[in-house]
Amino acid sequence: MLTTPLAERIRPNTLEGYLSQSHLVGEKGTLRRHILTGNVPSLILWGPPGTGKTTLAQIIAQESKRPFYTLSAINSGVKDIREVIDKAKNAGGLFTSSNPILFIDEIHRFSKSQQDSLLAAVEKGWVTLIGATTENPSFEVIPALLSRCQVYVLEPFSKEDLIALLERAMKVDQHLSSKAIQLKETNALLRISGGDARKLLNVFELIVNSQEGDSIEIDDKTVLEQVQSNPARYDKTGEQHYDIISAFIKSIRGSDPNAAVYWLARMIEGGEDLKFIARRLLILASEDIGNANPTALIMANNAFQAVSTIGYPESRIILSQCAIYLATSIKSNASYIAINKAQQLVKQTGDLSVPLGLRNAPTKLMKDLGYGDTYKYAHDHPGNFAHFDFLPEEISGTTLFEPGQNPREQVQREFLDKRWKDHYGYRDNKE
């Protein structure tokens, strides 16, 4: 009887055998060049489960001929980290291509002190760190460690990659290759996998092992029957994690409180991190509601603080209240669009000079050069407003903020129209 899972049995150990992630390790992939030259930096591999993070880390070590040490953030502490680092220091030379690789799976689960314990080893070149995470490293990895690592984003497997993976499994795996397997239909298998290669192989092996004899036909009906008889629990780091939080956010954006609390309950019952849910509500309050109802951001921030303080089970009530409030609030993405436009404008126009009238003048030389001369102090003028061009001359009059079609932001449009007249065109843009 086989005890090693199929995904482990067919795990590739070379770049040529590695499927997917062509943007990283394909012929023109940036990470591929680092691997082949041996100049691999410390890096974070960020992507959904089953996208080949662990496999890629092992291949990097294999291709660069480096010692490979691995830790799991689930069951490793600071002591374990120090022991591995000491072994790694003795195994490789400093600041050379032979530096050992320290792979840490689920690095986002490490506490701040555990991540701090890695800094010296990475800084001094004792190890090349490769961390794998399913969570946004901007939130889950401390800035000091993140600044010392390159972040590479792995994508879910494409349909073509998943089919190629199944075909390879049937060809190279000793157990599967001994059977006559016909893949008559693959839609159900691919849909259930959700781009997770490990999940695909687990389900595929389950289907094969459930059939009698060596001649096996697999179609969508067979797959669905087997999966229904073996329902998967909510996986807070897997497909459902991403699909259900997406459904939750879209339900609130779509002003459906009933769907919002349903998807919230699905996450709570599945053991999802409640602070993760609260953080997403905080983002939504600004991105999808914004100044149409500024209280939404206050509500979401208070909910996040309360959830962080009291925990489960009472925090479920707070999340429900907040989700319902946001779902029934008037919506606007005007602030979200405005900052996107502004960032794009900065990328296009570069470092435009700050107008002299807006510059700080702490010294006599700066005053003599005209810094701040033309600036008009708003409170010295009627209505606390004086017309002044605050943008660089090259982009003068560029409108980045367009108030949404809701009562509160229409008041903002009237306010801006009275002051700026034709300068920004708020009067012309009325609908």
Q: Kindly give the confidence (pLDDT) of every residue in the chain, 431 residues in length, as a single tens digit, with 9 standing for 90 and above.
A: 567 889 899 999 888 889 889 899 988 888 998 888 888 999 999 988 889 999 999 999 988 888 889 888 878 888 888 888 888 777 654 444 568 899 999 898 888 888 999 999 999 888 999 999 988 888 789 999 999 999 999 988 888 999 999 999 999 998 888 889 988 998 888 888 878 898 899 889 988 888 888 888 898 888 888 876 544 455 555 556 778 898 999 999 999 999 999 999 989 988 888 999 999 999 999 999 999 999 999 999 999 999 999 878 899 999 999 999 999 999 999 999 999 999 999 999 988 999 988 888 888 888 888 888 889 989 999 999 988 989 999 999 999 999 989 999 999 999 999 889 889 988 765 54
Please report how many Cα atoms fall inside a 13 Å half-sphere around the Cα of residue 168, on the Cβ side: 19
The second-level CATH assignment, the architecture, of 21-153 is: 3-Layer(aba) Sandwich (3.40)
Q: Which fold has domain 159-229?
A: Helicase, Ruva Protein; domain 3 (1.10.8)
For the chain, give every residue range classified as CATH 3.40.50.300: 21-153
Q: What is the pTM of this model?
A: 0.57
Q: Are 23 and 152 in contact (CB under 8 A)?
A: no
| pLDDT score recorded for residue 95 | 41
**Architecture in CATH for domain 239-327:** Up-down Bundle (1.20)
pLDDT at 42: 94
Give the integer Cα–Cα distance in Å for 421 and 152. Answer: 47
Residue 239: per-residue pLDDT: 53
| CB proximity list for 267: less than 8 A, separation 6 or greater | 234, 236, 244, 245, 248, 277
Outline which parts of the chain fall under CATH 1.10.8.60. Answer: 159-229
pLDDT score for 232: 47
Angle between helices 53-64 and 30-37 (to 10 degrees): 30
21 phi and psi angles, rounded to 5 deg: 55, 40
Question: In the chain, which residues fall in CATH 1.20.272.10?
Answer: 239-327
From the number of C-beta atoms within 10 Å of its C-beta (0-12, 13-18, 19+), residue 365 rates as: exposed
Alpha helices in 350-386 (DSSP H): 364-368
